[in-house]
Structure 1
Amino acid sequence: MNGFEKRANLIKEKIMQTTLDMLRTSEAKKIRIADISKMAKVSQVTIYNYFGSKEALLREVFKNYFDKAIRDFEDYMNEGHSLKEKIEHIIFLEKESYNDFPPALMKELLIEDNELSRYIEEQYKERTIPLTVRIIQEGKDSGEISDDVSIENVLTFIQLYMNQYETILEMANKSGDMDNFLEGMVHMFFYGVCGKR
């Protein structure tokens, strides 16, 4: 990579990070290219040259964020953690993504951008599901998941949790101690309401 390409990448990253920072405090509809330009200290023309439109910039920011989250988790998966640690890490990542991309913003972006929606669906099928199956299989191999429980059972249980994740995170937020609330949910995920025997 030559000096020009390095500078171009740094400018793109700066624009994308600025956009992500703005999304944490503002609705996507209210953010203008002029605002991003001012905050990133680059011209509007530069933003349009790199991304073409605000919609394309938002899509790129979200895709980049999603790709990084999966790469980071894949790295974590290869560090030899227990099943419980992996599940706790997933919940930690979900909590972090909730702060960066609240569910309402995610829905808004996915409804308004068919290309982004297709991309997320594709990533879910090609990367997220295989990673989840790997976690479950490793849990079964290590004896952390009962032989009486199939991979399909665990996937279904995880899906039930994920379908209600927005509600769970809102309740965790209202509890006043999100970390403790989520720790309790992890405990229930593994041991049910009766706890360890």
Structure 2
Amino acid sequence: MDGFEKRRNDKKAVIIQTALELFGKYGFEKVTVTEIAEKARVSKVSIYNFFESKDNLRRIIVKNILDESLCETKELVEKDCNFIDKMREYLENRIIYGSRYNMDFFFDAVESDPVLRQYLDDFNTENKGLISSIIKEGKKIGYFSTDISDTAIEIYIDIFYNYFLHNRKIRPTLEHSPKLAEEINLLFLDGLIRHSEQ
């Protein structure tokens, strides 16, 4: 990567980070491109050149969040380590995401943009497959019950995700309480853990 390309990428990253902070703090509708440009110390023209519109900037931010999450989960699935450590890291990653990003911003974006809704649906399908891989690994070593069918596990995961997708009231609580998020994730896993030998 040459110097020009690096400066260009750095500028885009600053705009994305600045917009994410402002959207999270004040809401998407209240933030203007002018405010993003001023805080990021770039011109409005740069924002339009890179992202075309404020809507598209938000779209790219949400896609980046989902892509980053999926990438981390893929790396974890492929990681050669103790299964208990893998599950601990999986839970830590979920908690970090819940506190790193403003959940209202994220879900408002998804709910108001059909392109993002489809992107989230595709993400959930792929992510569910990755989680199923982790669960299958857990079944193989006796950590998760082999009595539970893969179909039942998929429905269980869907119930879990759909609750958070559609329950707006719980989002701020989880966002500001990593401990509660951890407890919920542990309860989620507890439904799959093999009890007969513990």
Give the TM-score of the pair, scaled to structure 1: 0.81
User: Structure 2 CA distance, aligned partners of 1:173 and 1:16?
Assistant: 21
Structure ranking higher on relative contact order (CA contacts 8 Å, 6+ apart)? 2
User: Structure 1 CA distance, aligned partners of 2:124 and 2:174?
Assistant: 25
| Aligned match of 1:61 | 61
2:135 is aligned with 1:136 = yes
Cα deviation per residue 1:73-98 (whole Å; 9 max; x = unaligned)?
A: 22233334555555554444444333
User: Structure 2 CA distance, aligned partners of 1:123 and 1:187?
Assistant: 22
Contact 2:135 2:144 (C-alpha < 8 Å) held by counterparts:
yes
User: Structure 2 CA distance, aligned partners of 1:145 and 1:153?
Assistant: 13
Query: Following TM superposition, by how much is the alpha carbon of 1:170 offset from its aligned partner in structure 2, in angstroms?
Result: 5.1
Cα deviation per residue 1:24-67 (whole Å; 9 max; x = unaligned)?
A: 31201111111110111001111111111000111111111211
* Structure 1 runs (4+) greater than 6 angstroms displaced: none
2:31 is aligned with 1:35 = no
Q: 1:157 to 1:23 in 2, by over 3 A?
A: same
Give the TM-score of the pair, scaled to structure 2: 0.80
Q: 1:47 to 1:182 in 2, by over 3 A?
A: closer
Query: Following TM superposition, by how much is the alpha carbon of 1:154 offset from its aligned partner in structure 2, in angstroms?
Result: 1.8
What residue ranges of structure 1 are gaps of 5+ in the alignment? none
Contact 2:91 2:182 (C-alpha < 8 Å) held by counterparts:
no
Q: 1:71 to 1:161 in 2, by over 3 A?
A: same
